[in-house]
Amino acid sequence: MKLEDFVHTSHLPDELKPQAQSILDALNIIKVLDPACGSGAFPIGILQKLIALKQEIVQVQNPKKQITTAAISEIRTYRTPFMVWTYNQWR
């Protein structure tokens, strides 16, 4: 099983457990950019995926706040889509 399989299934297989800290470190520095920033569906989907992946490795305190402050960026060209994304994120 490869790392790619973990990303698609959100289940950390036994053969990847020795690398769990490295995977967690990589998840902590990942950057996500949504250049369209329409309804916010893409960033919300990525946020949910990152939370699931991190929680499979370790129990995370307040994972949404940790991930959104560190990992998800948006282009704020248009204020309304950014506001919609911000609202959807905390719903």
9-41: per-residue pLDDT in tens?
777 778 888 888 888 888 888 877 776 666 777
Locus of tokens 């902590």: 28
| Within a domain: 78 | yes
**3-state class (DSSP) for residue 36:** coil
In terms of residue numbers, what domain contains 76? 31-91
| Within a domain: 39 | yes
pTM beyond 0.75: the answer is no
Q: What is the pLDDT of residue 52?
A: 83
| Number of structural domains in the chain | 1
| Within a domain: 57 | yes
Distance CA 65, CA 47 (A): 10
Distance CA 46, CA 14 (A): 24
* % of residues, the chain, pLDDT over 70: 55
| Within a domain: 37 | yes
- Mean pLDDT, the chain, rounded, equals 71
| Within a domain: 2 | no
Contact predicate 17/62, CB 8 Å? no
